[in-house]
Structure 1
Amino acid sequence: MGPVFKKVTHFIGRPHNDDEFVELEVYAGGMVAVEAELVFELGKEITPGSIDTKGPLKHLINAVYAGVEIASSPVIDLNSYGPTAIISDFGVNQGMVVGAPIEQWDSVIENIQTSVFINNEHINSAPSNNVLRGPMAAVAYLIDQAAARNITLPKGCMICSGAITGVHDTVAGASATVSFEGIGNINMKLIPVTP
Structure 2
Amino acid sequence: MTVKHPIGLSAPTLADPVIAEAAARFVAARRSATGLDEFPGPLPADLATAYAIQATATAAWPDEVAGWKVARVPPALEEALGAMRYIGPIFAGTVTTADGGPLSFPVIPGGFGAVEAEFAVRIAADAPADKLDYSPAEAAAFIAAVHAVIEVAGGPLAPVNELGPTASTAVFGNNTGLIVGEEIVGGVEGADALRAEVLIDGQSVGVGSSAKLPGGIAAALAVALGMAARLGRPLKAGQLVSTGALTGVHSIAIGQQARIAFTGLAPMSGTAVAATPAA
The bucket for the TM-score relative to the shorter chain is: 0.7 to 0.9
SS in structure 2 at match of 1:32: strand
Normalising by structure 2, we get a TM-score of 0.62
Moved more, 65-74 or 34-43: 65-74
Within the candidate set 42, 46, 52, 2:123 is matched to 42
Structure 2 residue runs of 5 or longer lacking an equivalent are 1-86
Matches within 5 A, 1:25-174: 25-48=106-129, 49=131, 52-174=134-256
In the TM superposition, residue 9 of structure 1 has moved relative to its aligned partner by 1.1
CA contact (8 A) 2:112 2:159 kept: yes
Find the aligned partners of 1:190 and 1:54 in 2 and give their Cα distance.
Answer: 35
CA contact (8 A) 1:114 1:128 kept: no
Find the aligned partners of 1:50 and 1:193 in 2 and give their Cα distance.
Answer: 35
* Cα 1:58/1:88, change in 2 over 3 Å: closer
Structure 1 residue runs of 5 or longer lacking an equivalent are none
Within the candidate set 94, 102, 105, 1:8 is matched to 94
Aligned twin of 1:181 = 263
CA contact (8 A) 2:132 2:227 kept: no
Normalising by structure 1, we get a TM-score of 0.87
Q: Computing the radius of gyration over CA atoms, which structure comes out larger, 1 or 2?
A: 2
CA contact (8 A) 1:24 1:189 kept: yes
Percent identical among aligned pairs is 28
In the TM superposition, residue 56 of structure 1 has moved relative to its aligned partner by 4.5
CA contact (8 A) 2:136 2:219 kept: no
Find the aligned partners of 2:119 and 2:255 in 1 and give their Cα distance.
Answer: 25
Instruction: Tell me how large the CA RMSD over aligned residues is.
Output: 2.1
Count of residues in correspondence between the two structures: 190
Moved more, 176-185 or 150-159: 150-159
In the TM superposition, residue 3 of structure 1 has moved relative to its aligned partner by 0.6
AA in 2 matched with 1:85 = A
Find the aligned partners of 2:189 and 2:136 in 1 and give their Cα distance.
Answer: 20
AA in 1 matched with 2:148 = A
User: CA offsets per residue over residues 131-186 of structure 1, 9 Å max, x none?
Assistant: 13212122100112234455432101100010000001121111111101112211
AA in 1 matched with 2:223 = Y
AA in 2 matched with 1:23 = S
Please identify which structure carries the higher strand content.
Answer: 1
Please identify which structure carries the higher helix content.
Answer: 2
* Cα 1:148/1:29, change in 2 over 3 Å: closer
Find the aligned partners of 2:202 and 2:263 in 1 and give their Cα distance.
Answer: 17
CA contact (8 A) 1:38 1:64 kept: yes
Find the aligned partners of 2:176 and 2:269 in 1 and give their Cα distance.
Answer: 16
Greater RCO structure (CA 8 Å; 6+ sep)? 1
